[in-house]
Structure 1
Amino acid sequence: MQDIDLMFENAKEYNMETSQLYKDAAQLQEYARNLAEQGKTRPDNDFEDENGRRPLTEIHHRGEVWRVGDWIHITNTNDLAKPIIGQIYRTWQDSQGQQWVNACWYYRPEQTVHRHDKYFLENEVVKSGQYRDHRIDEVVDRCFVMFVTRFDKGRPRGFPGDKEVYVCKSRYNEENHKLNKIKTWSSCLPDEVRERDYEMDLFDIPRKLKKIPSPIKHLLRYDAKPTDPLPKPTWGAPNAPPLVGAVHCRERESNLTEDLSVQETPPPEPTAIPAHIEPIRRPSMMPALVPGIAKGTSA
């Protein structure tokens, strides 16, 4: 409503009160405000979907507030020592009152299928196409995932030093088991936080990123050949990443092929979640006009 009001106020600012544009803006502004007031009086169950899910702005759990965009550690039933890394895309409550999050999973290198001689960055994770539902009590802690272009320069301002910070530079395609470089980090984030940046505490000098060999390179079969079919990961619990990935010695693909194979992973269908982020207010970009001259001009 603040954005809508700003639009109408701009329209009235740059047009005379006697103009049709001014009158239309005033009438639509009043109509929009009335609709907003009507919406506030609707009961919560009016917003439930066909499965009885009611969108939530935020979830209070373990003394903290969890919202869309938060990076989280989720209980990994395959390996409790390696929690699932994810980012919250939706928050809601079911008909029994249980609160849930939908999170996009980020895989650890050992959970992917890749060449045995591949190197990864220390603390690297890769964005998967898995968007899974988890009860809020499965969320165990906060973490943070930074894009590779910022990871060497500092850390998120105010983020506790005892929390894990990961670096990401690739998407993982589970159909063909390819790792493709991410071109635009914002395309990986939920719409609600895509335009919101975070401040950083910068290092005195950028840190050199350390590369480490694949943690599962030893799993390469002694008789493996470049012509072998791609191996498959080993899956365990149904709502957890692979128990372990796999390695192979197939021929590398050219950089051109890898660039052309980059696919943008679509997020799940959006849920009407009430906005909890303060919108950015921008001044009108219109030039100062003589009032009433350009009737068709509005902000």
Structure 2
Amino acid sequence: MSLLCHLVLSDERVIDQLVGVAAASDRATTFLSAILLSDSPLLTMDLLSLLTHVARACPAHLPFLQKILGGSDSAYQLLSHLLCHQEHPIRAKACSLVGNLLRHGQDFPRALRSQAGLLERLLECLSDQDESVRRSASFAVGNAAYQDGSLPHALGKAVPGVARLLNDPQAKTRCNAASALGNLGRQAAGLGDVLIQNRAPHLLLDVACHDSQPAVQEAALIALRSISQQPKIHQVLVSLKASEKLLALSVSKAQTSSYGSPRPSSAHHCKKLIHLLRPTHSA
């Protein structure tokens, strides 16, 4: 299995060949499903990595993945089991697989919305003790929040967990959390009150101004631009004097940067956000 993963990584044509052969045989897909339930964590992790590469490569492969993961009733009980596996690397890889299944926005978002157990298992991973699980779960929730339709509304219960991850020790997890909050605010206008109740505007503004990692600050600025389109959140940010704080941030970065200016993209988002928050600007 490790060799097969290596081949898939080195040549994407192998993915098409693999899917073509395996999808044509019910015995092959049943065998792959059984591997995911095996007593060998290494074998399970290798197959999860392989399936993640398949999911990332092309939306045409999603029916093949559904045969392996969804079961005869398309309830995705196997995937739910993997999301709460006792081995944290398997939980992390299962979250990553979910995140990549959501990239293509076809049947899987509907399955995630309709299968309450699957969504609950994913959201539980946001507060996992293992940092790699939290990182992958925040990535998956961010992709789920990006979907059109009713799935972002179903993710309202994710907001408290995602907001807490803005203080996660891992910078990548903080980036994912900021992006997820921005996606939720953009795709689901009805979640504005939930975001405010969980202090998402406050926390994102604090991260944008004070996080030690420029990439995290940039993700927070982008998220603030998204959620500030909602009138209530716009009012909250104005009450927090966000424009003044962001202007001070721009000046500070220009003065302290060894290159004499902040990251161009961060400066751009900061400028746009300040413009959005002007009293004369219509939200």
Q: Which has the higher helix share?
A: 2
**TM-score > 0.5, shorter chain as reference:** no
TM-score interval w.r.t. the shorter chain? under 0.3
Q: Which has the higher strand share?
A: 1
Please give the TM-score of this superposition, normalised by the length of structure 1: 0.24
Q: Which has the greater radius of gyration? A: 1
Please give the TM-score of this superposition, normalised by the length of structure 2: 0.25
